[in-house]
């Protein structure tokens, strides 16, 4: 039953960013992003997505993180397949909205963002450039899985490069990271867990 005076039901909120037509954008909204390419120009789309940063790790783009799995056109409409880092990632919807918004601003009308859960994302998909950017940001990139007996992998400190480090907590600033400490320089740092 609709109640009078309820701002949620009486004043519906504007449509989410996914429904914005490109014609609603003014020219100044396009600054900083590469222009849209022709249909089928995957490199042009990838150039736009290279500018979309992960909200939890703003040192790397969604391309460098390896979560953009497909760029294709179907019946003239751009489709971008995105695989979240894990199925419960709280930033998934934000990332999808940022990808959609960047593409619309760049001149791609009504792109479709498709969440892909299979195959599951793996840290192997992080690009070499992404790993270097993580390190420069102070986050140790994934370095390998636990050993047969459950021992932690050798993790190099992003500050001094020493592998004389130790885990402090299985959870760091986000669920996909663990907290480590460097025994050499004594600095704490996040380690991007290997998945």
pLDDT of residue 150: 62
Mean pLDDT of the chain: 82
CA distance 102 to 49: 7
Highest mean pLDDT among 13-17, 89-93, 161-165: 161-165
Domains and CATH numbers, the chain: 14-115 (3.30.300), 138-192 (no CATH)
For the CA atoms of 20, 26, 28, 30, the dihedral, rounded to the nearest 10 degrees, stands at 40
Whether 28 shows a pLDDT value over 90: the answer reads: no
Higher-confidence residue of 26 and 89: namely 89
**Higher model confidence: residue 71 or residue 143?**
71
- pLDDT at 9 exceeding the cut of 60: no
Contact 144, 193 (CB under 8 A): no
Neighbouring CB atoms inside 10 A of 97's CB total 15
For 132-176, what is each residue's pLDDT tens digit?
A: 999 999 999 998 665 555 666 789 999 999 999 999 999 888 888
SS3 93: helix
Assign 65 to helix, strand or coil. helix
Report yes or no: 45 and 99 within 8 Å, Cβ to Cβ. no
Contact 139, 191 (CB under 8 A): yes
Q: What is the pLDDT of residue 11?
A: 41
- Do 185 and 157 touch, CB atoms closer than 8 A? yes
pTM: 0.75
Q: List the Cα angle 112/116/122 in 5-degree steps.
A: 135
**Exposure on the CB side of residue 59, measured as CA atoms within 13 A:** 17
Position 66 confidence tier, pLDDT thresholds 50, 70, 90:
very high
Report the pLDDT value the prediction gives residue 77, as an integer from 0 to 100: 92
């Amino acid at each position: 039953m609709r109640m009078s005076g309820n701002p949620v039901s009486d004043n519906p909120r504007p449509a989410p960013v996914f429904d914005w037509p490109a014609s609603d954008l003014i020219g100044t909204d396009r600054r900083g992003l590469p222009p849209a390419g022709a249909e089928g120009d995957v490199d042009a789309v990838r150039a736009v997505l290279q500018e979309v940063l992960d909200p939890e790790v703003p040192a790397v783009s969604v391309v460098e993180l390896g979560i953009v799995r497909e760029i294709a056109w179907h019946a003239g409409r751009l489709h971008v397949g995105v695989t979240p880092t894990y199925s419960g990632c709280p930033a998934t919807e934000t990332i999808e909205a940022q990808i959609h918004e960047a593409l619309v601003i760049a001149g791609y009308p009504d792109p479709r963002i498709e969440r892909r859960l299979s195959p599951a994302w793996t840290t192997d998909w992080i690009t070499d450039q992404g790993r270097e950017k993580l390190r420069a940001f102070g986050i140790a990139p994934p370095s390998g899985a636990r050993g047969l007996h459950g021992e932690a992998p050798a993790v190099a400190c992003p500050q001094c490069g020493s592998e004389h480090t130790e885990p402090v907590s299985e959870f760091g600033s986000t669920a996909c990271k663990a907290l480590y400490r460097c025994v050499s320089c004594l600095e704490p740092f996040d380690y991007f867990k290997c998945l």
